[in-house]
Amino acid sequence: MIADSRASILRTMIDNIPAAVSLFDAEMRLVACNRQLIDLLEFPEAMFVGQMPTLEELARFNALRGEYGPCDVDEMVAAFMARARQRLPHHFKRTRPNGTVLDIRGAPLPDGGFVTFYSDITELTASQQDLERHVEYLRSVVRHLPQGVSVFDEHLRLKYWNQMLLDVLELPAEAVHQDVSFDDLTIFPARRGEYGPGAPEDHVAARRKLALQFQAHRFERTRPGGRTHLVEGRPMRHGENVIGFVTTYTDITDRKQSELALERQNAMLQALVANMPGGVTVFDENLKLALFNAEAKRLLEFPNEYAALQPSFADVIRYNAERGEYGDVDVEKTVAEMVERAHHPVAHHFERTRPDGTTIEVSGAPLPGGGFVTIYLDITQRKLTENELRRRNQVFQTLLDNIPGGVTLFDKEMRLVASNAEYARLLDFPPELFEGEPTLERFFRYNAERGEYGKIDDIDASVAALLARAATQQPHVFERTRPNGTVLEIRGLPLPDGGFVTIYTDITEKHGAAEAIERLAHRDTLTGLANRYNLEARLDHALAEALRHKTQVAVMFLDMDRFKAINDTQGHSVGDGFLIEVAARLTSSVRNCDIVARFGGDEFVVVLTDIADSRHIETVARKIVDAMAAPFNVVGVRIQSSVSVGIVVFPDDARDRHLLLRNADIAMYHAKRSGRGQYQRFDACLSELVLNRTRMEVDLRNALEAGEFILHYQPQIANDGECVVGFEALVRWKKDGGLVPPDQFIPIAEETGLIEALGAWVLEEACNAAVRWQARRGGATRVAVNLSRRQLKDPCIVGLVRKVLGRTGLAPALLELEVTETAAMDNPQIAIENLRALKSLGIGLAIDDFGTGYSSLAYLKLLPIDRLKLDRTFVKDIEDDTNDAVICTATIGLAHNLGLKVVAEGVETAAQLAFLRSLDCDELQGYYFSPPLPESEAREYGMG
């Protein structure tokens, strides 16, 4: 009876709790719940009839109806149950698919079961978000006000201000801070004499006396520099009490000047409209004739009374329709149709011939505030002239058709004015291509689509580039080989009126004979480019010509990035095919008068001759870099590469062939070292940079042998902000009595391959340190070691880690390897294979600098990692930058949903710590707790 009574009381309590409640026993079966649970989570009542459901059944029901979002139902349920079996207290929020926000709190019970409370906090969450947005809006408004703002309390202490206050009053930034006194700020303009003659302290006292009256005031003050400010102040009250005053300082100098300028501009515009050679009408947003000039009245024969009446658009159209201006039409229907269009004005342009034979060109455009403007030009005479030109063109066409060779004439708008039949025959153009008003773009696009310019991935971009080059209106002579083998000599010449004429000559036979002779003596056998001997001879000739004509020559030294890897992984046949394609792209990137040569291996030289405008050099360099960045397809193998380009200019950078090639090689090397896939102009400083880098490389090798490297350890702290859960090992180089920053030597070690030996030393030394700590402290401490991009790709990395663990005796669970997001995504397949093999050793894995790379979530789920390290760039501004705060929140939520822990890097303030803890960030690392420490200090820190 007592048990039944207690059960009844418990049931009554559960049913009357103002929240949804569920109670599960030790076997994870629902023992009790209230009505609120079923209604809030929208469970079908049938699930609770008879035997109560298990937690797994409820979780599966939720997963199947999408309660947890898109997922593998079995995996989601398994993960859910795994967490539930831990029987840990939990508190989190979850948004349901219907938008309801739930606050969920759970706790284990002594008998092995657990109880969970669900509260609907949708309205509370929305209210909090609205309040936060409102506060931020107000702050943003004040920050971006065009006036300076100051807020002083009743004791004349500064409480709030914006940057504009400092700019307007020319106050030093270091003098403006929270609670600075009114006197301390007023003294600056007083000392500058802005309040007139007299002791500055007297002026300050006088203004303090006025300020303490807390009276509203508004006045203008012109400062000694000539700027005029509008000063407005108002007291702030709380009930009957004055709690301070707020003052705004508006610089109205520009406004007054702008008002004067606007008046002058309006007068000029009125004069312009009145004296325009065309007619102008303006209809306002109400479709009233607001303005028209005398020419519009003359052309359109408006009645004199229009100037005073301001007729509506409908009245004007009706007047025109009734006098036959639009032909024989239904007047009211025409008025209705044109008024409807006028209510939704768009830019328009057309020609109209009036009943008296006058032809008018009409151009109109909508106005920003509503209404539209229309320009009317009398083009009657132009039309007569065009008819005469049309007759003359017939004569001109007869002449063109009898010229031996293809001929085209395009106007300045790139429209085809004339061409002959030979042009269509030589280029195999179909008749329909010439129908209507053919443009240069039409011919370019047709050629690009049929492969006339080779294989093109982006036809629109290629056509746009060709049109941009044509728009330069430069004379040109070049040869082009069509897909059918025909070689055309193409000569173009701009015309005075902005158009240009082009002549196409078939030189297939001539070109074939000359090419055969040239190839035998002076060509690279693989690529067909000029060989080194040919390059040197032609370069010497180009330099002599440039010296004679006082022009410039640019020499570009090119090296294909990562070509060795292509040869090693794909074989030499693919490597040779790749070089042939590189040669083709280089050739298509320059003029026929330029030189393209294979210097040796994967090195090429491009010589730009007869340069009149130095901007052409950078244009070609950028074009080459872009061309090499596009994917290659060699015998079915897709290759992604890039090129590093060094540039020298004769005579600025060197005056002979040997120095030009050497300096171009130095510039190329610097471009490769700066990130590859770019070009670099030679600078005398580059020689010194190359020398310094060579010294650094030598010093690095010696440092490895001499044992100059040491490790510092930065603590990683648990969410409680106190407990040390591990250390990250960071390498340092002791050199010349100081420490060389890692960013100065790690990239060189990575590039030269020294990173493998250095990384192996770091791994073993960190493991030894962890073992020593364990022996002295009596407890286990995790140590994290960074793995470089090169190490991650190394097939021997798993064996190395296994041997180090064996030699040092460190338990695998106490070692964590960190790889950067960029390194993991560089070759995802290899990264996944190696990381899985490393994971099988029992060690921990972490993704470092998460959020700064280009991770694919699809691959991220496949990586066998335990932790994400949130990059410091997102942590440092979470107090002020809403975007960073959102990114941190989303990243931590994503990691937890994937079953990963999160370590936040770069924690430097208590506010950052508090925010990250509120997000349930698992671990924290940064200078707020400790900088990286030598081993002995790190050990003491961990023990403290």
Q: What is the pLDDT of residues 190-211, one digit of tens each?
A: 888 888 889 989 989 998 999 8
Q: What is the pLDDT of residue 856?
A: 47
Give the residues across from 500 on adjacent strands. Answer: 410, 494
**Sign of the Cα pseudo-torsion (55, 58, 64, 66, in order):** negative
**Phi first, then psi: what are they for 221, rounded to 5°?**
-135, 125
Rounded to 5°, the CA angle 454-457-458 comes to 110
Cα distances (angstroms) measured from residue 870 to each of 613, 874, 892, 905, 923:
49, 7, 8, 6, 10
**Please, which residues bridge with residue 149 across strands?**
248
For the chain, domain boundaries: 1-121, 147-252, 273-380, 402-510, 522-681, 695-940
pLDDT over 60 (residue 520): no
Q: What is the mean pLDDT of residues 16-44?
A: 89
pLDDT reported for residue 854: 44
Task: Check if 1-121 and 273-380 are the same fold.
Answer: yes
Q: What is the pLDDT of residue 795?
A: 87
The CATH classification of domain 147-252, taken from the options 3.30.450.20, 3.40.50.970, 3.30.70.260, 3.40.50.2000: 3.30.450.20
Q: 351: which strand partners?
A: 361
* Distance from the Cα of residue 920 to its chain's centroid: 30
Instruction: Tell me the C-alpha distance between 350 and 362, whole Å.
Output: 5
Reply yes or no on whether the pLDDT at 340 is more than 80: yes
Q: Is the distance from CB of 133 to CB of 141 less than 8 angstroms?
A: no
Quote the CATH superfamily of domain 273-380. PAS domain (3.30.450.20)
Give me the helix-helix angle, 615-629 and 572-589, nearest 10°. 150
The residue type found at 392 is: R
Among candidates 802, 790, 784, which has minimal Cα distance to 747?
A: 790
Per-residue pLDDT tens digits for 121-150: 888 888 888 877 876 776 777 777 788 898
Give me the pLDDT at residue 18, please.
Answer: 77
The kind and range of the H/E element at 441 are helix 440-449
- Is pLDDT at 912 greater than 70 in this prediction? yes
Which alpha helices (H) appear in 276-375, and where do they start and end?
A: 294-300, 306-309, 313-322, 331-342
Lowest mean pLDDT among 26-35, 217-226, 611-620, 794-803: 217-226
Confidence of residue 256 (pLDDT cuts 50, 70, 90): confident
Q: Amino acid letter at 788?
A: S
Residue 943 has pLDDT above 70, yes or no: no
- Residue from 9, 17, 50 nearest 36 by CA: 17
User: Cis ω on the peptide bond leading into residue 934 (within 30° of 0)?
Assistant: no
How far apart, in whole angstroms, are the C-alpha atoms of residue 705 and residue 352?
89
Distances (CA, A) of 884 to 872, 874, 876: 10, 5, 9
Residue 113, judged by CB atoms within 10 A of its CB (0-12, 13-18, 19+), counts as middle
The answer to which of 73-87, 249-263, 267-281, 301-315 has the lowest mean pLDDT is 267-281
Distance CA 376, CA 362 (A): 5
Give the residue from 215, 247, 254, 210 showing the smallest Cα distance to 232: 247
Most confident of 11-15, 252-256, 911-915: 911-915
Q: Higher pLDDT residue, 752 or 836?
A: 836
* Averaged pLDDT, 308-314: 84
Give the range among 312-321, 398-407, 443-452, 545-554 with minimum mean pLDDT. Answer: 398-407
Tokens describing residue 806? 């064996």
Q: Across all residues in the chain, what is the average pLDDT?
A: 86
* Residue 83 tokens, joined: 């967490």
- Selected from 3.20.20.450, 3.90.650.10, 2.40.128.20, 3.90.1150.10, the CATH number assigned to the domain covering 695-940 reads 3.20.20.450
**Cα(347)–Cα(341) distance, rounded to whole angstroms?**
11
Token pair belonging to 881: 């930058």
The CATH number of the domain covering residues in 522-681: 3.30.70.270
The residue among 897, 891, 910, 883 whose CA lies nearest residue 849 is 891
Q: What is the pLDDT of residue 513?
A: 60
CATH superfamily of 402-510: PAS domain (3.30.450.20)
Core vs surface per residue 187-201: b (16+ CB within 10 A) or e: bbbbeeebbeeeebe
Q: CATH topology for 1-121?
A: Beta-Lactamase (3.30.450)
pLDDT value at residue 10: 61
| pLDDT, greater one: 687 or 572 | 572
Helix axes 742-752, 684-706, angle to 10 degrees: 90
N- to C-terminal Cα distance for the chain? 57
Question: Which whole number is the average pLDDT over 48-74?
Answer: 91
Hunting for tokens 């700019």 — which residue is that?
167
